[in-house]
Amino acid sequence: MKKLFVFIFCFLIVGASFAVEKPTVLVLDQSGQDNLEAQKVINKITEKVLNSSRFGVYQKEQIAAKQREAGFPQIMDSDGYDYQKLSELMDLQVIILCKVDKNVREITKKKSGGNNSGALWMYGFIFPPLFLLANSGEKTYTVNINEYLVSLKMIDAATQKVIAQENFSGSDLSKLDQASERLYLALLRNYQVEGSIISQEKELIYVDLGKRSGIARGDIVDVYRPGLSLSDETITTPEKYGELEVVEALEDSSVCRLVPYRTVGSMRKGDIVKIIPLESLSVVDQARRQPKETTRPLGMGEAFIGEAVGPELLKYNPAGLGQVADSELALGWELKYSSASLSIPNANLGYPGLKNFYGNFVENPLCPNDFSVIVPTERGGLGLNVKVDNTRIKNEFFQYDNGGMKVGLYAGTAIHPKVMVGLGLIYTDQWIGIHNGNSYEFRGSGLAGQIGILARPTENLGLGGRVDLPANINGKLVRSSASLGSQDFSYTDQASLGLGVSYKLFNRLVLNLDLLDYCNASLYDVRLGAEFKCSDNLTFRLGSGNRFARLPNLAADPNYPNGANFRTNTYSAGVGLAVGSLTFDLAGEYEVLREGNFILYPDFAAGSPVRTLLTGYKDARIKFSTGVKF
């Protein structure tokens, strides 16, 4: 730390000699008359620009002083000021012209009755002709209303081109604040201060722009490679390759840090920098510059409600769409292996060594079962996720299928640079089949909703919440037996509340804790995850958690246990790799039954106590995902 302060001190002494001054602005009144309203407009705009500390501001009164210093040069022509000569005299970059026209409009109004009109109205009920006298007391009077027409024009002093213009009219100047704000933002966007990198020390970058240049803490610094001379007449355009964030603004220089996920290549002394003032960015643009990780492995124990980024965020918290800066597409594959021991106590039957493979699209694990795409928009981001899954358990006695497809549409935005919200609409198409002599098949569909929120109070802390609104699945239960036929059937998924926290313990280690299905108030729904970042492109994750499941009573069996719940412990590990615009994720998960009473195929005869009890269960899954940024 001492070394750093010594370096900064020495750097200030050297840097002061070539400090870049902030742009200068002149505010002129073109009203052609002295009126208080015009002065109010000029004062308002001057105050707005001056208080930002990003520009030097002159007013008309200072022109004469500058003329005296320069020996009274000619700065007027037949149309008024010669803006080019004026800009040279005062070293101006911008001239703001204000014109306020005031019109007085008379409005005639009527006022009924005199001093005795009330009495005449009262006695008029006794003697009706008095009503005429009461109305004859009506008087007219005039009211003067001031109407203003305000014109604001911002001109580039060197080229005399109009950069921005604002016009509004009305009986008051209430629209001046909004017009001044738009004019000021146009000023920020059009006059980026340029400088260069003068030194680098590890992750800190030093630039020759400071408070005197109008720079402030939190500003974004775009970094460009200087253009190369290809011939005596051709020079290539500087190319942006990275971003910095100002962490400390000194008088003539600034200390910045690298924004790694928005930088390709290494910083070099002499590279060009341009300042993007923080207030010129929209809320969404500011949120997109919150710290994010570059890799997104799947081996996360589903402990990422607290902080979600990239295509994977669609599975955890749609609010994360508010900080997506690039279009991304991801495909996921999942291969499963399961084993179980089953028993039917009242039938004295058991299957201690039941094993099976089951995959997606019934028995085709080569097809991706998970597809995600996200697209940033001006106000946030949009996302689409399609997931297909099918579980098949089959032996010589029965076959059980449970699968479906979910199509989710999501949207997210930032309502504050550190607070994002998101919504999701999920269509579910569910199928369940049980075949043990007679065949029972159910297929139905329904819509569910999702609400998410993410907050980043500090750079190291992420907080999140997600509410899953249940879907009502409506469909047909079809039975192979002619005597049983088919019937309408429906069931409702459970609602759930997820709460999460993500904390960066130190620069490369992030810990995550999620409470899922919190509506059940169960400690079994706690999930933990840890992420260790080996480099900017390589990340490892470990996770441990528990899964809660509830199956619907398709047979409407009165003896079916309430909820048919089971709980499992899950352990996961994964690795993620980013190569340019590509990401690759590989993860393994192992799930084992902790407790449960899981019915696979009840006897559909009403009142029958026959059921299958799952007494042992193990599930191993390998997940692979690949994504690309556009």
pLDDT tens string 502-517: 999 887 899 999 988 7
- What pLDDT is stored for residue 298 in this prediction? 82
Alpha helices in 297-394 (DSSP H): 313-316
Label residue 191 by pLDDT band (50, 70, 90): confident
- What pLDDT is stored for residue 359 in this prediction? 41
Name the average pLDDT for the chain.
79
Q: 276 by DSSP, 3-state: which?
A: strand
The least confident of 326-335, 498-507, 599-608 is 599-608
pLDDT tens string 333-368: 888 777 777 666 656 667 666 655 444 334 445 678
Other beta carbons less than 10 A from residue 318's beta carbon: 31
Bigger pLDDT: 56 vs 563 = 56
Q: Whole-angstrom Cα distance, residue 321 to residue 415?
A: 12
The answer to whether the CB of 435 falls within 8 A of the CB of 450 is: no
Rounded mean pLDDT, 485-491: 81
- What pLDDT is stored for residue 234 in this prediction? 55
- What pLDDT is stored for residue 318 in this prediction? 93
pTM of the predicted protein model: 0.74
Bigger pLDDT: 550 vs 40 = 40
The least confident of 187-196, 291-300, 412-421, 616-625 is 291-300
Helix axes 176-190, 36-51, angle to 10 degrees: 40
- What pLDDT is stored for residue 17 in this prediction? 40
SS (H, E, C) 106-158: EEEEEECCCCCHHHHHHHHCCCCCHHHHHHCCCEEEEEEEEEEEEEEEEEECC
Token output for 155: 């001109």
Rounded mean pLDDT, 371-391: 91
pLDDT tens string 399-446: 777 888 999 999 999 999 999 999 999 999 988 887 777 788 888 999
Rounded mean pLDDT, 485-512: 86
Helix axes 83-90, 61-70, angle to 10 degrees: 70
The answer to whether the CB of 400 falls within 8 A of the CB of 600 is: yes
pLDDT tens string 211-254: 888 888 889 999 998 876 555 555 567 888 889 999 999 988 99
Label residue 453 by pLDDT band (50, 70, 90): very high
- What pLDDT is stored for residue 444 in this prediction? 92
pLDDT tens string 517-529: 766 656 668 889 9
Other beta carbons less than 10 A from residue 529's beta carbon: 25
Query: What is the pairing mode between strands 370-377 and 380-394?
Result: antiparallel
- What pLDDT is stored for residue 588 in this prediction? 93
Rounded mean pLDDT, 160-181: 84
What is the dihedral angle through the alpha carbons of 375, 376, 382, 386, rounded to the nearest 10 degrees? 30
Label residue 380 by pLDDT band (50, 70, 90): very high
Q: 381 by DSSP, 3-state: which?
A: strand
Residue owning tokens 């900080």: 323
Q: Whole-angstrom Cα distance, residue 373 to residue 384?
A: 5
